Amino acid sequence: MLLPHSTLKDATPDTVRKAIRAGQYTGHTAGLCPGRLQVNLVILPEILALDFMRFCQRNARACPLVGVSDTGAPHIDALGDFDLRTDLPTYNLYRNGVLADSPNDISTLWGDDLVAFALGCSFTFESALQAAGIALWHIQNDSTVPMFRSSIQARPAGPFAGPIVVSMRAIPSARLDDTRAISARFPHAHGAPVHVGDPAQIGIADLTRPDWGDPAPVPPDHVPVFWACGVTPQAAIAAVRPPYCITHKPGHMLITDIPDLAEALDILDLPSRHPSQQERLT
């Protein structure tokens, strides 16, 4: 029997992962385990791993790298006690760059040549926004945040290239400054927004038709705000067309044991700083 999102909302990471592993929960993870780091996942053959790591380093706002597995290891010990093959609600399997399947378990697909990359996720700063009284429509309405291919181009690395994917949240106009300041505290969860206002300026023609996730309204006195998104690698993978690749399904993240990123910077030995003025978005 599938469990509803509301049943797990206040559960511990271990409880949520056990439910996922047992096939009892396959939905999105937004709003689950507040205060714990959630991560995007990319799993590639080792032959592509170095180029992908360079891609992450060159596009740190979209691909904030927080952990890498050993080759063939289905775990990243620094992030918690989990199994990468079973502990995400839903995965995306790509073959030759094309989405082939969205399984709930990848145990039979795992290989000794695979390397897993964990990338910081905007769900981390969402908890901080909500704690500050900034409501988020997709969480209140049990849906997945809308994500769009933008016209902003990532800096290429080896065969990896393509558009920066952005996620959108409608923010009250009176809370824009607070939203910028709060999210900027989390540089390894995408940091501050990359664009505020007119979506056409970053190549988005219709907010009601996201490339991933669910549509979300922009009510009166609200402004669409866009953050770089960890789905960016999935757009790049479509261009690389590797014979085999696995990612998380957008919105269906790996929940780690690490506290929220304000504390996790020390645990993960990540730099605690805001991006410099010289740092480019990509």
CATH of domain 125-228: 3.30.2040.10
CA distance 101 to 236: 18
pLDDT of residue 37: 87
CA distance 138 to 213: 10
pLDDT digits (tens, 9 = 90+) for 175-213: 999 999 999 988 888 889 999 999 999 999 999 999 999
Q: Inform me whether the pLDDT recorded for 262 exceeds 70.
A: no
Burial environment of residue 61 by CB neighbours within 10 A (0 to 12, 13 to 18, 19 or more): buried
Tokens at 204, concatenated? 């988005």
Cβ count near 22 (within 10 Å):
10
pLDDT digits (tens, 9 = 90+) for 218-249: 999 999 999 999 889 888 888 888 998 999 99
pLDDT digits (tens, 9 = 90+) for 82-127: 999 999 999 999 999 899 999 999 999 999 999 999 998 887 788 8
Q: Where are the domains of the chain?
A: 5-122+236-267, 125-228
pLDDT of residue 93: 95
Amino acid at 168: M
Overall average pLDDT of the 135-142 stretch: 90
Cβ count near 140 (within 10 Å):
10
Q: Does domain 5-122+236-267 have CATH number 1.10.420.10?
A: no
CA distance 3 to 82: 20
H-helix or E-strand spanning residue 7: helix 5-8
CA distance 154 to 163: 6
Complete DSSP assignment for 211-222:
SBS------TTE
Domain 5-122+236-267 and domain 125-228 have a common topology: no
Per the CB < 8 A criterion, the answer to whether 168 and 208 are in contact is no
Residues 6+ apart with CB under 8 A from 47: 113
HSE-CB at 234 with a 13 A cutoff on CA atoms is 26
Residues 6+ apart with CB under 8 A from 88: 20, 41, 248, 249, 252, 253, 254
pTM over 0.85: no
In the block, tokens 């080896």 appear at: 158
pLDDT confidence bin for 277, thresholds 50/70/90:
very low
Cα–Cα distances (Å) from 184 to 71, 169, 177, 223, 272, in that order, read: 33, 15, 11, 18, 11
Mean pLDDT score of the chain, rounded to an integer?
A: 88
β-strands 36-45, 114-120 pairing: antiparallel
